């Protein structure tokens, strides 16, 4: 065992120095490539950029202040928000949405009360106040903005699918 210690030390020292040398070399390479911006990200809602670019953030589109009550595209869709929500606070102490949408406040404010599903916890137990998992309304409900579609949508309402299927069936009989 003792005899091996000498060569072992030399190997360790050699390995260490060579890895340090490699690291220094990698640093050099990085410095040489400063002019190369690297691959650019794909264009999405905002233009794609390289890691070195700092493109300006897109302008926040204008919020639609009021619109007719939205049509839901399928059962269980969280309805979109038909009014402005600017400066509405939702934090640990206060939930502005619930000042109008709670069961007790909705008649006074003319809003639709958040449905009973918002009061069940995940064990299926009904609670007196809105459930923590439905507390952050904007997780599911989105406000509407004056903005062009990012991509064209071919979505068809399921009612339309049912009507189409029924008329096809009638055609076959």
Which span sits near ligand HEC by CB under 6 A: 2-10, 12-20, 37-45, 108-116? 108-116
Interacting residue with ligand HEC among 11, 53, 109, 160 (CB under 6 A): 109
Radius of gyration of the chain (CA): 30
- The CA distance from 112 to 80, in Å, is 13
Q: How far is the CB of 49 from ligand HEC (least distance, A)?
A: 32
Which structure tokens are listed for 145?
């903005």
Q: How far is the CB of 122 from ligand HEC (least distance, A)?
A: 11
144 binds ligand HEC (CB under 6 A): no
132 binds ligand HEC (CB under 6 A): no
CA distances from 47 to 37, 40, 42, 82 (A): 15, 10, 7, 29
* Residues in region 46-85 near ligand HEC by CB under 6 A: 69-70, 76, 78-79, 81-83, 85
Interacting residue with ligand HEC among 63, 84, 100, 103 (CB under 6 A): 100
Considering the complex, state which of residue 92 and residue 151 has its C-beta at the smaller distance from ligand HEC: 92
Of 173, 160, 143, nearest in space to 64 by CA: 143
142 binds ligand HEC (CB under 6 A): no
- Which residue(s) pair with 83 in the sheet? 66
DSSP assignments along 37-68, one per residue: --PPPPPSSS----TT--PPPPPPPPBP-B-S
CB 62 within 8 A of CB 146: yes
Q: Which residues bind ligand HEC (CB under 6 A)?
A: 69-70, 76, 78-79, 81-83, 85, 88, 95-101, 109-112, 114-115, 117-118, 130, 134-137, 139-141
């Amino acid at each position: 065992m003792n005899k091996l210690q000498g060569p072992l030390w030399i190997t360790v020292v050699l390995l260490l120095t060579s890895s340090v040398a490699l690291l220094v070399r990698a640093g050099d390479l990085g410095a040489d490539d400063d002019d190369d911006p690297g691959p650019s990200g794909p264009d999405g809602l905002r233009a794609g950029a390289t890691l070195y670019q700092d493109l300006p953030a897109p302008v926040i589109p204008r919020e639609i202040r009021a619109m007719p009550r939205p049509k839901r595209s399928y059962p269980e869709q969280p309805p979109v928000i038909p009014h402005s929500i600017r400066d509405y606070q939702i934090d640990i102490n206060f939930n502005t949405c619930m000042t109008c949408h709670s069961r007790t406040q909705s008649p006074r404010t003319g809003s639709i009360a958040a449905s009973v599903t918002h009061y069940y916890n995940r064990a299926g137990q009904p609670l007196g106040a809105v459930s923590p998992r439905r507390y952050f309304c904007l997780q599911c409900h989105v406000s509407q903005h004056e903005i062009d579609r990012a991509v064209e949508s071919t979505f068809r309402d399921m009612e339309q699918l049912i009507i189409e299927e029924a008329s096809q069936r009638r055609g076959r009989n």
